[in-house]
Each structure stands twice: as C-alpha cells, then as structure tokens.
Amino acid sequence: MADRDIQMNVNGLALKVNSGPGRTLLSALREDLGLIGAKDGCSQGDCGACVVLLDGQAVNSCMVLAPQAQGRDILTVEGLAENGVLHPLQRAFGETWAFQCGFCTPGMLMSCYALLSSNDEPSREEILTAISGNFCRCTGYQAVVKAVQQAAAEIRASSSGDGEQGRAPA
C-alpha cells in the first residue's frame, strides 16, 4: 500500500500525518507530530505505556494502525492541561507521588482520565480495573488509586460550583 496522508483531530487540532504500510498511531503521534508523551514500552499491546484516547476510549496506540484514526478525535497526555494549567488528575499524581520513573505515567494518566470521564466517583476496584492494562514497576498502584480518588473529589467539587482549573472532565 502506498503512503498517504491521514487527517485526524489531535488535542483539538486538525493535523495530518503520513501513513505507510503497518504504520501505527503511536508512531505517527511520536514521529510526525512530536507528541512523545505516549511511550513505546512493548509494541504489542501488553504494557499500556502508549495509551491515548480515540474518540473518548482508552486504546493502546501501538495496536491501532494510523489509517484507523482517519477523521477521528485523539487525546494525548499533552492535551490534558489547558492554557498551561494542569488537569486535576495530573496535579493529584504529583501530590500523591503516584509516579516515580514516569515511563508508564502518560498511559496511566490517560486510562484514569478515560475512567473519570464516565465515572466521577470510582471505587478502588473500578480504578484498579481501569489501570489493569498499565504496567508500573515502581508505585505498587496504591498511590495511583489515591491520586484518582483525590482528582475525582476535586472534579465533583468543581462541578458542584466550587470552581476548577484545567481541562474539564470529558
């Protein structure tokens, strides 16, 4: 198959990437668009380091061919902050030490963001299920659960009128 341009909406911007045979969404994001937040940990759908949102659903971008993203909405970790203000989830990860080496963190954040987009009061079990595809060898996951619950509380408070900064939950 010849190379061709793929158009997609990435973090709110209409962008074009080049697609060759077997080209993945992860490769297009990192190499064409310079969005290197999503990491290539395994290239085979096992680690979750490459998670982005595709039309609001968390996907392993190493397992999505670039042409499958034609005309669709992509959200990467670079799109979580708005106007330089971190999303509550990003702040909570920092405040609870929910990451250490950080290699897994962008994918973990995106899986958690997808969860909070549909559930602003997730239980510990729901959080663990949401991140079950995200491998992290450093945190033991407890701090991640705490971070998601802290962010969820902030998001609930902001939707009840206490004010919030950063991107609103989808």
| Shortest distance in whole angstroms from residue 129 CB to ligand FES | 17
Distances (CA, A) of 125 to 118, 128, 129, 148: 15, 5, 6, 12
Quick one: 12 or 94, whose CB is closer to ligand FES?
Answer: 94
Quick one: 37 or 41, whose CB is closer to ligand FES?
Answer: 41
| Shortest distance in whole angstroms from residue 102 CB to ligand FES | 5
Quick one: 52 or 151, whose CB is closer to ligand FES?
Answer: 52
Kindly give the pairing relationship between strand 4-10 and strand 13-19: antiparallel
What sign for the dihedral angle of Cα 157, 151, 142, 60? positive
| Shortest distance in whole angstroms from residue 47 CB to ligand FES | 3
| Shortest distance in whole angstroms from residue 66 CB to ligand FES | 14
Contacts to ligand FES by CB under 6 A:
40-43, 45-50, 60, 62, 99-105, 136-139
Quick one: 38 or 169, whose CB is closer to ligand FES?
Answer: 38
User: In which element (H, E) is residue 27 found?
Assistant: helix 25-27
